[in-house]
Amino acid sequence: MCIIAPSILSADSGRLAQEIAAMEAAGADWLHLDIMDGHFVPNITFGPWVVEMAKKTAKIPLDVHLMVSDPLTYGPMFARAGADIVTIHTEATVHLHRALTAIREAGAKPGLVLNPATPLSAIEYSLDLVDLLVVMGVNPGFSGQPFIESTTQKVSNLTKFLQSRKLNIPIEVDGGVNDQNAPHLAKAGATVLVSGSHLFKSKDYRAAILNLRKLCQNP
Ligand code: DX5
Ligand code: ZN
């Protein structure tokens, strides 16, 4: 089964609640919320109030992606705001173990994200602490960037890495996902696909989600 998670970074921000409701009604499995602090990445997005609003608006799980330099402070804060999953970057802190544990204690499932240049070894000693692993398909900070092709090989390497340790942690790909690369990512072992610009620029959200899921499930 594949999970399709629209990223509301590409939504019409003046109609955010309606866009969230429309994506849920169109069959989105999860909602992906990108939190940027203007420090870890050169862009600023939303605070916890958007997660609180999304929680009231939609019933599907909220996958909150923290692109922040201080995940130890903000991880638990976003968990308390209503995130079901909080993912943090391996590159953001030297205290990954502490931050992941704090997120779980605050009531959310913790996950780890790898930037395009970050090796798989960065997650090796955190695997027992996470419920989701995210491979970035672009450099974090903006939606609508072109997919970095080496991501597919990285997902395949991660799949083998997890299999060799007999671990069944889902792999999410975030950034640049579209109908062309989805089948390759699925073959490589990804089961959660985040999509911002591709889904939000489609005329028919339902058809676009269905098609992406079909391409992921029957690659
Ligand atoms: C990038 C974000 C992504 C982004 C995806 O920093 O983490 O979630 O919104 O958007 P697209 O699919 O347009 O690359
Ligand atoms: Zn994201």
CA atoms within 13 A on the CB side of 167: 21
- Active-site residues: which are they? 34, 174
34 Cβ inside 6 Å of ligand 1: yes
Q: What pLDDT digit, counting tens, does each position of 84-121 carry? A: 999 999 999 999 999 999 999 999 999 999 999 999 99
Tell me the percentage of the chain whose pLDDT exceeds 70: 100
Structure tokens at 199: 């889904």
The model's pTM is: 0.98
Domains, the chain: 3-217 (3.20.20.70)
Q: What are phi and psi of 74, to 5 degrees?
A: -85, -25
Please report the atom of ligand 1 found closest to the CA of residue 32. Answer: 8
Q: How confident is the model at residue 122 (pLDDT cuts 50, 70, 90)?
A: very high
Centroid of ligand 2 to alpha carbon of 80 (angstroms) = 19
89 Cβ inside 6 Å of ligand 1: no
| Mutation choice for ligand 1 from 4, 7, 132, CB with most ligand atoms inside 8 A | 7
198 Cβ inside 6 Å of ligand 1: yes
Centroid of ligand 2 to alpha carbon of 49 (angstroms) = 18
202 Cβ inside 6 Å of ligand 1: no
How far is residue 140 CA from its own chain's centroid?
A: 11
Using CA atoms, how far residue 48 sits from 18, 56, 78, 113, 156, in Å, is: 18, 13, 6, 20, 34
CA atoms within 13 A on the CB side of 132: 27
Cβ distance 112 to 126 under 8 Å? Answer: yes
Q: What pLDDT digit, counting tens, does each position of 183-200 carry? A: 999 999 999 999 999 999
Q: Is 102 exposed, middle or buried (0-12, 13-18, 19+ CB in 10 A)?
A: buried
Q: What are phi and psi of 136, to 5 degrees?
A: -75, 135
Structure tokens at 107: 């009531």
Which alpha helices (H) appear in 47-196, and where do they start and end? 48-57, 71-81, 96-105, 150-164, 182-188
Using CA atoms, how far residue 164 sits from 111, 122, 160, 201, in Å, is: 20, 16, 6, 39
Centroid of ligand 1 to alpha carbon of 144 (angstroms) = 7
